[in-house]
Amino acid sequence: MTRFVIRRVLWLILVLLVVSFITFSLMHLVPGGPWDRDKQLAPQVVAALNAKYGLDKPFYVQYGNFLLGLLHGDLGISYSYQDRSVTQILMQGFPKTAVLGTTAFILALLVGITFGMAAALRQNTWIDYVCVMFSTIFASVPGFVLGILLIIVFSVILHWFPTGGWGSPSQIVMPAIALAALPAAFMARITRASTLETMRQDYVRTARSKGLLERVVLIRHILRNSLIPVVTIAGPEFAALVTGSVIVETIFSIPGIGRLFVQGIFARDYGLIMGTVLFYAFVIAIANLVVDILYGVIDPRIRYE
């Protein structure tokens, strides 16, 4: 298992290098630079800005400097937020996005798995139909529609929650719901399908014929085995939630990192783009690694060399 983890970590470094190179190249190939705006700056100012941020150096020198900085843990500077380094921006925003993402993840897991299992165990009853209907609805409603609807109903009409921002727990509720809706729907469907399949297995029939209580059969046999596909999607889902959703963060004004990537691209903020891309790649790779390790825990049949 240790050899497996070490190998994966080495692959991780290689992946990050490739991702950084591709992103860096694409960033500089795209038309438009950070200083282009409708009111053109004077050419001397543009020259001074390029010199200040090292943008007048050749491509490989810039990339080399970026990698060197990376070795020192420095992700670069942002042009959109000039008083902080990219590392500081990520460190300030990440805890908020992570808390929101984790809350949404737990909510999605609890709701998704519970309803998925309930639907499978009571297949073709009203529970099943309601569960499938809701999971289809929430999988189809776009995030921004759900977000604005929640704001209108619960803030403007009912005055139960504030419309957005961060700081008090009441501000987490609506964004977490908006964020959890889609993953919950997916998890419900996958849990349902997987549970249905597991229920038909021979060992479940054996367990029942042994006289075990239904509850025991459920938890000890069905639950654990039907969770494997769920874990497969839960890992990347967690990574996606923790790195933030630009839509939910924009609508609810959450000061996290979800918006940074998209904003950075529109502003051609090279430092911010590189920093967030690497950060995302890192988080996703780690999440996949954790998922693979979890397989070994859940399913004793899976062993790694």
Partner 1 sequence: MQRKTLVYSLLAIFFSAILIFTSACQGNKGTGAQILRVNLAGEPAQVDPNQASWAAEKSVVSQVFVGLLGFNQDLTLRADVAKEIPTVANKDISADGLTITFKLRTNVTWSDGQKVTAKDFVYSIKRELDPDLACAYASFYYDIVGAEAYNSATGKTAADKTALANAVGVSAPDDYTLQIKLNDPQPTMVECMALWPVYPIREDIITKYGDKWTDPPNYIGDGPYLLTEWVHQDHMTFKPNPNYWGTKPKRAEIDFLMITDANAALAAYQNNELDIVGVPPGTEKTFLNDKTYDDQRSLFNDLTTFAFQFNVTKAPFDNKLVRQALSCAIDRDAFINSVRSGIGKAAVSWIPPGMPGYNASIGTQYAFNVTQAKALLAQAGYSDVSKLPQITFSYSNTAGNTTIAQFLQGQMQQNLGINIILDPEESKTFSTNVNSGKFMWAWFGWGADYPDPDDWLPGLFGTGAGNNHTQYSNPAFDTLSATALKEQDNTKRLADWDQAQKMVMDDAPIVTIFYRERFNLVKTWVKGLKTTGMDGQVIGDTFYNEVYITK
Q: Does 168 bind partner 1 (CB under 8 A)?
A: yes
Query: Bridge-partner residues for 85, per DSSP?
Result: 77
296, 34 contact by CB (below 8 A): no
Q: Does 143 bind partner 1 (CB under 8 A)?
A: no
Question: Residue 256: phi, psi to the nearest 5?
Answer: -110, -160
Among 6, 9, 137, 152, binds partner 1 (CB under 8 A): 152
Residues in contact with partner 1, counted by CB under 8 A, come to a total of 60
Q: Does 126 bind partner 1 (CB under 8 A)?
A: no
Which residues are CB-contacts of 74 (< 8 A; sequence separation ≥ 6)?
85, 87
**Which of these, 38, 39, 20, 16, lies nearest to 28 by C-alpha position?**
20
Q: Does 275 bind partner 1 (CB under 8 A)?
A: no
Separation of alpha carbons 47 and 292, rounded Å: 50
Q: Which CB sits closer to partner 1, 16 or 262? A: 262
Q: Does 215 bind partner 1 (CB under 8 A)?
A: yes
Q: Does 32 bind partner 1 (CB under 8 A)?
A: yes
Q: Which CB sits closer to partner 1, 181 or 285? A: 181
97, 241 contact by CB (below 8 A): no
Q: Select from 48-56, 120-128, 197-205, 235-243 the region that touches partner 1 (CB under 8 A).
A: 48-56
Q: Which CB sits closer to partner 1, 166 or 304? A: 166
Q: Does 212 bind partner 1 (CB under 8 A)?
A: no
CB of 252 to partner 1, least distance (A): 7
Task: List alpha helices for the chain, DSSP H.
Answer: 2-29, 43-52, 59-71, 86-121, 126-140, 143-150, 170-199, 202-209, 214-216, 224-242, 246-251, 258-267, 270-298
Site for partner 1, residues 52 to 91, rule: CB under 8 A? 52, 79-84, 89
Q: Which CB sits closer to partner 1, 163 or 201? A: 163
Q: Does 29 bind partner 1 (CB under 8 A)?
A: no
Question: Residue 85: phi, psi to the nearest 5?
Answer: -80, 165
Q: Which CB sits closer to partner 1, 33 or 229? A: 33
Among 2, 14, 43, 211, binds partner 1 (CB under 8 A): 43
Separation of alpha carbons 109 and 185, rounded Å: 10
Q: Which CB sits closer to partner 1, 168 or 209? A: 168
**Which of these, 284, 207, 225, 244, lies nearest to 19 by C-alpha position?**
284
Separation of alpha carbons 107 and 99, rounded Å: 12
CB of 111 to partner 1, least distance (A): 11
Among 133, 137, 148, 302, binds partner 1 (CB under 8 A): 148
Q: Which CB sits closer to partner 1, 255 or 296? A: 255
Which residues are CB-contacts of 12 (< 8 A; sequence separation ≥ 6)?
282, 285, 286, 289
Interface ranges with partner 1 (CB under 8 A): 30-33, 36-45, 47-49, 51-52, 79-84, 89, 92-93, 106, 110, 148, 151-152, 155-156, 159-170, 173, 215, 219, 250-253, 255-256, 259, 266-268
